[in-house]
Structure 1
Amino acid sequence: MRVAILDDEPAELRRVEQTLRQIPSASEQPWTLHCFERGEDLLRQLRRETFDLLVLDWQLPDLSGLAILRWTREHMEAPPPVIMLTSRDGESDIVQALNSGADDYVSKPFRPNELKARVSAVLRRHGLQKSAATEVLIFNDLTFDDAELTVTRAGSPINLTEREYRLARCLFANLARPLSREYLYERFWTHEEMVSSRPLDTHIYRLRNKLGLTPERGWQLLTIYGYGYRLESVSAATA
């Protein structure tokens, strides 16, 4: 999970960060948390990076959290869920934020357990946090089994490495959503492995071939120049 936190008060920013670090269980991959004290800095990253969740303060000296929320809804193809975390707790403020597209609204000073519960609830609604039950997901003739880390096509197994499986699973879980290279590297490669663009490109090439990600089979794995990749479902008519 890749989360951006925006707050111009360093102490509050660290408190939110420490709270969110407690959400993943010991068996889950730790979340990657990116902290910002300026709205302009976060906006710059949103133009070139992918985040699964934004936690935004409202009042900042440069660009408000509400302005960033509205920008994501107006300019992003698949905007991430947003939780407003702010001391502005008037009814009109809450209504304005929710009407602008916020998924939830938490007032400061926040209670850590409540924030964790609200974050988890928002992620579940968006299908970004798995339940305790093992998932088997079907996309056309492809079946993903999270327990076995296997993919089959019409019952026939497709030979994938664990990393190839997890990368493919991520692409299918984010259909039509642009995913930045940095987002994918942070999730599936260690820092030592991120020395060039080749590992990701090589894995994308293999997945195209192994999974048949072509319009003839109903899929299109697009390269977004200067950004990353997007997997799309295409109809037979389009193909």
Structure 2
Amino acid sequence: MRVAILDDEPAELRRVEQTLRQIPVTGEQAWMLHCFERGEDLLRQLRRETFDLLILDWQLPDISGLALLRWTREHMDVPPAAIMLTSRDTESDIVQALNAGADDYVSKPFRPNELMARVSAVLRRHGLQRAAATEILTFNDLEFDDAELTVTRAATPISLTEREYRLARCLFANLGRPLSREYLYERFWTHEEIVSSRPLDTHIYRLRNKLGLTADRGWQLLTIYGYGYRLESVATASE
């Protein structure tokens, strides 16, 4: 889970970070927390990186959290989930933030258990956090079994390594959403593996072939030059 936390107070950043690390996550979705004290620094990263969740303070010395929230909704095809975490707590402030696209609003000083519950609820609504129960998901003719880490097509198993399965599952969970190389590397590879080869490109090539991610099967796995990849669902000739 890749989360950006924006707050100009270092102590508050640490408190939010420590709180989020207490939320249990499943499978490969370890918490990857990125802290920012300046809105400009976060905006720069949003232009070139992928995040699952933003936790935004409102009042900052440069770009306000509300302005950043509006920017994501206006300029990103699939903006990340966002929670405002701020000392501004009037009804008009809350309404303004929610109307701007915030998924939730938490007032400071925050209560850790409440923040954890609200973060988990927002992630569930966005399909970014699952319950522990076994889940089988179907995408066209592909069936993903998260318990067995297997993919089948017309009841025929497709041979994938565990990492290939998790990478494919991530791509399908984010259909239509551009995913940066940094985001994918951070989720599925250690630093030592990254510097020794180009494993992401190799895995993307294998998934295209093994899963048949081609237009005639209803898929298009696009390479976004200088950024990463995006899996899209496309109409087939028979539709």
Question: Do they fold alike, i.e. is TM over 0.5?
Answer: yes
Report 1:15-94 matches (<5 A).
15-25=15-25, 29-94=29-94
Deviations 1:34-84 (Å, cap 9, x if unpaired)? 000000000000000000000000000000000000000000010001000
Residue 128 (str. 1) matches residue 89 (str. 2)? no
Contact 1:5/1:34 (<8 A) preserved:
yes
Contact 2:2/2:183 (<8 A) preserved:
yes
Mark the CA change 1:220 to 1:197 in structure 2 (over 3 Å): closer, same or farther.
Answer: farther
Q: Whole-Å Cα distance in 2 between the matches of residues 186 and 81 of structure 1?
A: 19
Query: 2:75 corresponds to which letter in structure 1?
Result: H
Give the aligned CA root-mean-square deviation in angstroms.
1.5
Contact 1:134/1:147 (<8 A) preserved:
yes
User: Unmatched 5+ residue regions in structure 2?
Assistant: none
Q: Whole-Å Cα distance in 2 between the matches of residues 156 and 26 of structure 1?
A: 27
How many pairs are equivalent?
239
Contact 1:149/1:162 (<8 A) preserved:
yes
Query: 2:147 corresponds to which letter in structure 1?
Result: A
- TM-superposed deviation, 1:30: 2.6
User: Unmatched 5+ residue regions in structure 1?
Assistant: none
Report 1:1-239 matches (<5 A).
1-25=1-25, 29-195=29-195, 198-237=198-237
- TM-superposed deviation, 1:27: 6.8
Contact 1:21/1:30 (<8 A) preserved:
no
Contact 2:26/2:130 (<8 A) preserved:
no
Q: Whole-Å Cα distance in 2 between the matches of residues 26 and 83 of structure 1?
A: 21
Deviations 1:125-180 (Å, cap 9, x if unpaired)? 11110112111000011000011100000100000000000000000000000000
Q: TM-score, normalised by structure 1?
A: 0.97
- TM-superposed deviation, 1:191: 1.2
Mark the CA change 1:56 to 1:204 in structure 2 (over 3 Å): closer, same or farther.
Answer: same
Q: TM-score, normalised by structure 2?
A: 0.97
